[in-house]
Structure 1
């Protein structure tokens, strides 16, 4: 999946030094059994995994395409389970393996529509019917700086509006909320909220969090 794999060099380099900030709404997981099997896809160095584990969840796994980020996670939290993705988005887990899947600031790192759809399909495969998918991602920004770089990147490369390159070399995407909702045809929305986050390069950006349930 070239749209994921092509940025491994970034995430194994400068990307591995970043601090990730999307907040976890633990109240959204209040009704989940603490023994539920949880997967954090694109876990980075395990920040979200650590938070929910410290909150009482006992069966938490994380996967990421960056060996450097995974090693950072293993060093900081050797008690947690980390795995490097060899061929993203493909997972080694059996179908319906998990009750909860977390997808925090991952779609923003995948500019291509087909690659996003393939990822969501794979997450749906490993999520049990009735299981929860918790997405947190960045939406389209309305300031001049972002509008200009969306337009410039679309004109130069023919990418969807919202794709842009950061100053330090990552290609990212900000999303129309309707696009994110449309990625989840097999899910029913449980909760949705708009939030503000600090980006990995220190800017303030508008984001959205969605909690949806896989249909039986």
Structure 2
């Protein structure tokens, strides 16, 4: 990586102690072979792949740009394969290395359109033909507090509507559905469901999960 990724300032400090809550849909994972090669991109402290391991998946790996989160994950789950991502979004794997990639509350941490597209392109590269991309992420909230945050940040910084700064210093993004769909031109959308989550700062919020198959 050329220089320190500015996101690390947050995720190696305040963010390293957060609790993440986006749930894994057991109905969706039930359709995946237990021998599937699974990568959790932005795995944090390994919460999701630990759950998948308990479900019987035998080939699960996680990567995250935060060394502090990976260290936390290794303490909690010493049996899991967790690695620090040195040059995000580039992955140190050859093409078609995985059958499933998980992207749980990761796009919300990447406010920039081009950076989101670059990440999806890298995931397309490492996914096998017919592989699955399982996204769980935040949608635009319709309460006054969030609408004010979106509008204020857009006026001040010229960012897309939905980007804002949290009270503790993270710059994050909530998404309109058209924008999420537009990230997936090389996929067929198989399933979609709306869910309620608790954010990393303890607020109830609306989110969406998408299951898409690489063409």
1:37-95 C-alpha deviation (Å, 9 max, x unpaired): 00000000000010011000000000000000000001110110011011100000010
- Runs of 4+ that moved beyond 4 A: none
Backbone CA RMSD of aligned residues: 1.2
> Aligned-pair distance for 1:31?
1.9
What is aligned with 1:90? 90
Structure 2 length normalisation: TM-score?
0.98
Residues in 2 aligned to 1:139 and 1:103: alpha-carbon distance in whole angstroms: 14
- Corresponding pairs, count: 214
Unaligned runs of 5+ in 1: none
Report the counterpart of residue 13 of structure 2 in structure 1.
13
> What is the CA distance between 1:26 and its match in structure 2?
1.6
Corresponding residue for 2:176? Answer: 176
SS of equivalent to 2:10: helix
Equivalent residue for 1:36? 36
Q: CA deviation at 1:128?
A: 0.3
Alignment of 1:163-202 (within 5 A): 163-202=163-202
Write out aligned runs for 1:54-93 (5 A). 54-93=54-93
Instruction: Quote the residue 2:109 is aligned against.
Output: 109
Helix, strand or coil at the partner of 1:200: coil
Q: Distance in 2 between matches of 1:7 and 1:31?
A: 35
CA distance in 1, matches of 2:48, 2:181: 22
Q: Cα distance, 1:9 vs. partner?
A: 1.1
Deviation at residue 30 of structure 1 after TM alignment:
1.2
State the secondary structure of the residue aligned to 1:61: strand
Distance 2:135 2:26 in 1: 13
SS at match of 1:145: helix
Determine helix, strand or coil for the equivalent of 2:92.
Answer: coil
Matched position secondary structure for 1:108: helix
TM-score scaled to structure 1, two decimals?
A: 0.97
Secondary structure at 1:197 match in 2: strand
Q: Which runs of 5+ in 2 are unaligned?
A: none
Deviation at 1:5, TM superposition (A): 2.2
Cα distance in 1 for partners of 2:136, 2:52 equals: 15
3-state SS of the aligned residue for 2:189? strand
Could you say which residue in structure 1 is the equivalent of 2:204? 204
Which residue is equivalent to 1:145? 145
